[in-house]
Structure 1
Amino acid sequence: MPGYRKLGRPSDQRKAILKNLTTALFVSGRIQTTEARAKEVKNIAEKLITLAIKEADNFTSKSVKVSCAKVDSKGNKLTDAKTSKNGNKYYVIDREVKTDMVSVDNPSRLHARRLMMNWVYRPKTADGKNINITDKLFDEIAPKYKGKNGGYTRIYKIGPRRGDAAEMVILELV
């Protein structure tokens, strides 16, 4: 007997459905689906949130030298005209070296981030920008549930679906 529901699908389709539902849950905070799918997504989401809470503060900061192009007040890159040995003229972008503080994941947090990326897709907003769900888990969702042991999601039954009478539920983050 397997440790999960098969949902009447081949394994690749089943994993795709669960990834889509898990991503939708973390993006919008609530989804409407069948009871069997919701119970599977609930297990996955609870484990990912627990992992995010455990590894939320497991990073270090270090200063890094970054080379970037100089820009004028309009945001255009500044260039210099140069001449090569054989007399050709070309333009070179002026660069400046800055020191920035960058957060660096410790190995266990990096592993947790990769496990999370295995269960979510990279959705886009309406204007085409990518939403990073793993960052959202670490930065927004984990601090919200800090100090709470489980019970991050809730299932509401809303009755049977018209057509095949499958039990429909709403799964939401508490």
Structure 2
Amino acid sequence: MAYHKKPRKFGRVKNQRNALLVGLASNLIIYGKIKTTVSRAKEVQGLVERMITKTKQPSLAGTRHVAKYLPKVAVEKLNKIAPNYAERKGGYTRITRVGQRINSDGAMQAIIELV
């Protein structure tokens, strides 16, 4: 049976959490690679992969769905890179662990990048 999957909350309320994830997703799409914590990378991975899947097929509904969440610059960049993944059925991103944050809290860091 499929049970409820508890989302990561990052110590924030819902609208702040959504703003964080949308910001990470748009930066990942624009720059192709970002460095963040492992848990944030795992959360944003699913969001970005769903958005790439929506824009692989050129449809108005998919474009509007993505435009609802991302800024215009990220949508334009996503429309350019999505056809590159036409043959892939998933797995558009890669998470690589890079060690702990040294100067502050020691959180595990990761680089998430588009494949």
Normalised-by-shorter TM-score class? 0.7 to 0.9
Matched letter for residue 35 of structure 1? V
Q: Give matches, 1:90-129, under 5 Å.
A: 109-122=59-72
Between the aligned partners of 2:42 and 2:66, the Cα distance in structure 1 is 18
Unpaired segments ≥5 residues, structure 2: none
Match 2:90 to one of 128, 150, 153: 150
**How much has 1:134 moved relative to structure 2?**
2.0
Alignment partner, residue 168 of structure 1: 109
| Matched-pair contact (CA < 8 Å) for 1:117–1:134 | yes
**How much has 1:2 moved relative to structure 2?**
4.9
**How much has 1:6 moved relative to structure 2?**
1.2
Q: Percent of aligned positions with the same letter in both sequences?
A: 40
Unpaired segments ≥5 residues, structure 1: 57-108, 123-130
Question: Structure 1 segments of 4 or more deviating over 6 A?
Answer: none
User: Normalising to structure 1: TM-score of the pair?
Assistant: 0.60
The structure with more strand, counted as a fraction of residues: 1
User: Normalising to structure 2: TM-score of the pair?
Assistant: 0.88
Alignment partner, residue 26 of structure 1: 29
Between the aligned partners of 1:135 and 1:117, the Cα distance in structure 2 is 9
Would you say how many aligned residue pairs link Structure 1 and Structure 2? 111
Alignment partner, residue 134 of structure 1: 75
